[in-house]
Amino acid sequence: MQNTRFNRLVEDVTDQATRWLKNPWRRLSFLVIGLLFGIFLALVVSTTAGQTAEIDVVVASFLVITVELMSWVTYRRRSPADIPPSRPYWLVDILNALKIGFIYGMFIQAQLLGS
């Protein structure tokens, strides 16, 4: 890949965010925010898709595929030693927290609706 200004900018921003998120409290706060945002997304998706009952199957299949892809990306790494130093591991962890919050939120919505 060529070393353009944009590539350097993206690399610098990623490195700075990685250094910033090495603090455990900041990392934990981002994971909690991801979890809560996942619950919010579940509420939004369930109310939006529930308004028009015509696209329930399409939305459900899209959500299952998305959740499975996120699980594959998260759990395909075997150990922290397998992660290359240039890869932003925190982004995968935040996406995993978002996925867990989304699944939990969908479970809560199903319990509220009784279905």
Structural domains of the chain, count: 1
pTM of structure: 0.74
pLDDT tens column, 10-68: 989 988 888 888 888 888 998 999 999 999 999 998 888 777 777 778 888 898 999 99
* Per-residue confidence (pLDDT) for residue 36, from 0 to 100: 96
Distance separating alpha carbons of residues 22 and 90, to the nearest angstrom? 9
Residue span of the structural domain in which 59 resides: 5-113
The answer, yes or no, to whether residue 103 has pLDDT greater than 90, is: yes
Nearest C-alpha neighbor of 24 from the set 113, 75, 93, 112: 93
Distance separating alpha carbons of residues 36 and 23, to the nearest angstrom? 20
